[in-house]
Amino acid sequence: MKSIYVGNLAYSATNEDIKELFSKYGNVVSVKLISDRDTGRAKGFGFVEMEDDQALKAIDALDNTEFMSRTIRVNEANPKTR
C-alpha cells in the first residue's frame, strides 16, 4: 500500500473528485483532503492510498497535469517520522 501526496488542488475539490481522478489507475483505498483546523477551509492538498503498482502508475500519469484549472503535484508521500 502506498500513500500518495496530491498538492496544488483547487480549494473546491472534494474527496469524490479526487477518488474519481485516481480510480482511472486502480482501486483507491482512501482519500483524505486536509483542511484548516480552525476555519474548516481546504488547504489545497491531500493524500490518496492505493496499491503499490497502481499508485506508481497514477503518480507517473498525474504529476504536473491540469485538474480543475490547476497544475497538480503528485508524488509518493513520505512516511511521518516520529
The number of residues in the chain equals 82
Q: How confident is the model at residue 81 (pLDDT cuts 50, 70, 90)?
A: low
Residue 5 has pLDDT above 90, yes or no: yes
Q: pTM to 2 decimals? A: 0.92
What's the gap between Cα 58 and its chain centre?
10
What's the gap between Cα 13 and its chain centre?
10
Residue environment code for 2-16, b if the CB has 16+ CB neighbours within 10 A, otherwise e: bbbebbebeeebeee
> Residue 46, exposed/middle/buried by CB under 10 A (0-12, 13-18, 19+)?
buried
Domains along the chain with CATH numbers: 2-76 (3.30.70.330)
